[in-house]
Amino acid sequence: MSAPTRRHLSPHHVRGVGCVALLLGALDPLEGSWIVLAGAVALAVVARPGHTAAERRQDVLAAVMIAVGVAAMWILSGVGGVGGPAGQPVAWAITLLPYPVGWLLAIWAPGRPRWGAPAAIAVGAWYVTIAVLALRMGRGEPGFLLGLAGFGAAVGLGSAYVTWRQRRRG
């Protein structure tokens, strides 16, 4: 009788799970931030064959940026958020920028599954939808919501471009 083979999680599978975490967590930027952070860390830790030092630094940078942005978001949320009578001035929203920039670096990085960028188009559309609905209902700071809509449009268009480039390369 032969010994059972050991199963291990391949880097390919970890990259797939990391991308899924980035996409699912992004659907709710606050509550899903821990899922996004876990996915980014998984992508930064896992090496893939042919991974250059520059690509590895980009993965680590994306994870660090997401961690800094998530920390800023939870701190701001804890002190009342931004805008409105109870919140901080809207200018404090700039401290949140490392989170979405790191997310974009992580999702668009070389070596990600080919379905990652096309799926990010849906995330961009989701952000635009959230902003439009909140504006129509008169909820939230208009400047922040317009920024969210602009970010969603940038994610969608950027992801469409990355998808086009991936398909063009073959």
The reported pTM is 0.82
Yes or no: say if 77 and 30 are a contact pair by the CB < 8 Å rule. Answer: yes
User: How many C-beta neighbours within 10 Å does residue 17 have?
Assistant: 16
DSSP 92: G
User: What's the pLDDT tens digit per position in 90-106?
Assistant: 788 889 899 999 999 99
Yes or no: say if 32 and 25 are a contact pair by the CB < 8 Å rule. Answer: yes
Output the pLDDT for position 55: 81
The residue extents of the domains of the chain are 11-169
Greater confidence (100 vs 112) lies with: 100
Secondary structure element (H or E) that encloses residue 45, with its range = helix 33-45
- What tokens does 68 get? 């800094």
* pLDDT interval class at 167 (50, 70, 90): confident
Output the pLDDT for position 108: 86
Output the pLDDT for position 133: 92
Output the pLDDT for position 132: 93
Output the pLDDT for position 147: 85
> How far is it, in rounded angstroms, from Cα 105 to Cα 103?
5
User: What's the pLDDT tens digit per position in 17-42?
Assistant: 999 999 999 999 889 999 999 999 99
